[in-house]
Amino acid sequence: MRIDIVTIFPEFFDVLDISLLGKARQTGIIDLGVHDLRDHAHDRHRTVDDTPYGGGAGMVMKPEPWGEALDGILEGGPGDPGDPGDPGDPLVIFPSPAGDVFTQAMARELANEQHLVFGCGRYEGIDQRVFDDTAVRARVRLVSIGDYVLNGGEVATMAMIEAIGRLIPGVVGNPESLVQESHEDGLLEYPSYTKPAEWRGRAVPPVLLSGNHGAIAAWRREQQLERTARVRPDLLA
Ligand code: 6GU
């Protein structure tokens, strides 16, 4: 999968060199490009924002640097630029608290894409015409990672790339571990234990030492249901 990120903080994404995603980049499973939006601002101060038309607090990101940055990324990619909505087109994601909420189901869907582009906004947002102009050449989605406010799209992009990247075949060593996690079957995961069998006076639940695989599976299921009902009853509905 090809992933491009447009940001005014390219160093923020240096951490993608490490861990599982770093390895996926080394082996070529993920091909990552991080682009500095300011490289596309051509005034002396490399300005990327300006005051909002109509007044109001804060600054708005100017359209020209975004247009130029996205032109460079989208041209030459798969898909016919004259035919928006083609599944071979890049999918451009703008992290935004006003977007659709990112879920494990969305992560699974996005893990099937060939080319994702993340446009990280800062300040009060990006000039609306950037979304409209991009939608003519690519599929565009606004995506939120939850009901709280971040200063910009970088942290949200990082969270989405981690959730999506680990679902790409070959990124996580043991694919079995993917299906046992919270949210994969719509429930929270069961509690896990390892050695020693007793620690600080706390024993591992005896059923896990019983060797009875049926009883262990039933206990784990029961724990998942109990935990989900207690912490996230909305998931059971
Ligand atoms: Cl995707 N961006 C920003 N700036 N804030 C958020 C968000 C995204 N998701 C939740 N809050």
pLDDT at 184: 80
The whole-angstrom separation of Cα 148 and Cα 161 is 19
- Shortest-distance Cα residue to atom 5 of ligand 1: 150
> Which residue shows structure tokens 């919270």?
182
The whole-angstrom separation of Cα 227 and Cα 231 is 6
The CA 25 to ligand 1 mean position distance, Å, reads: 26
The whole-angstrom separation of Cα 66 and Cα 6 is 8
How is residue 118 written in tokens?
């993340």
Atom of ligand 1 nearest to the CA of 152: 4
**Does 144 contact ligand 1 (Cβ within 6 A)?**
yes
**Does 150 contact ligand 1 (Cβ within 6 A)?**
yes
2 closest CA partner among 82, 86, 79, 64: 79
The CA 100 to ligand 1 mean position distance, Å, reads: 11
pLDDT at 78: 47
From 150, 151, 162, mutation site for ligand 1 pocket: most ligand atoms within 8 A of C-beta = 150
pLDDT at 123: 80
The CA 95 to ligand 1 mean position distance, Å, reads: 6
For 125-136, b/e burial (b = at least 16 CB within 10 A) is bbbeebbebbee
Mind listing the pLDDT tens digit of every residue in the chain (237 residues)? Answer: 999 999 999 999 999 998 889 999 999 999 999 999 999 999 999 999 999 999 999 999 999 999 999 999 998 654 455 555 666 689 999 999 999 999 999 999 999 999 999 999 998 899 999 999 999 999 999 999 999 999 999 999 999 999 999 999 999 888 788 877 888 889 999 999 999 999 999 999 999 999 999 999 999 999 999 999 999 999 998
Is the pTM higher than 0.85? The answer reads yes
The CA 9 to ligand 1 mean position distance, Å, reads: 16
The CA 107 to ligand 1 mean position distance, Å, reads: 16
**Does 84 contact ligand 1 (Cβ within 6 A)?**
no
- Shortest-distance Cα residue to atom 2 of ligand 1: 96
The whole-angstrom separation of Cα 134 and Cα 147 is 26
H helices present in the chain, as ranges: 19-26, 63-74, 104-110, 128-135, 154-165, 176-179, 213-231, 233-236
Q: Give the CA dihedral 95, 98, 102, 105, nearest 10 degrees.
A: -130
Q: Which residues contact 16 (CB under 8 A, 6 or more apart)?
A: 22, 25, 32, 158, 161
pLDDT at 20: 87
**Does 153 contact ligand 1 (Cβ within 6 A)?**
yes
**Does 96 contact ligand 1 (Cβ within 6 A)?**
yes
The one-character DSSP state at 77 is: S
From 101, 110, 145, 157, mutation site for ligand 1 pocket: most ligand atoms within 8 A of C-beta = 145
pLDDT at 72: 97
Total Cβ atoms within 10 A of residue 144: 16
CA distances from 208 to 49, 144, 160, 181, 197 (A): 58, 39, 34, 18, 10
Do 131 and 70 form a contact (C-beta atoms < 8 A)? no
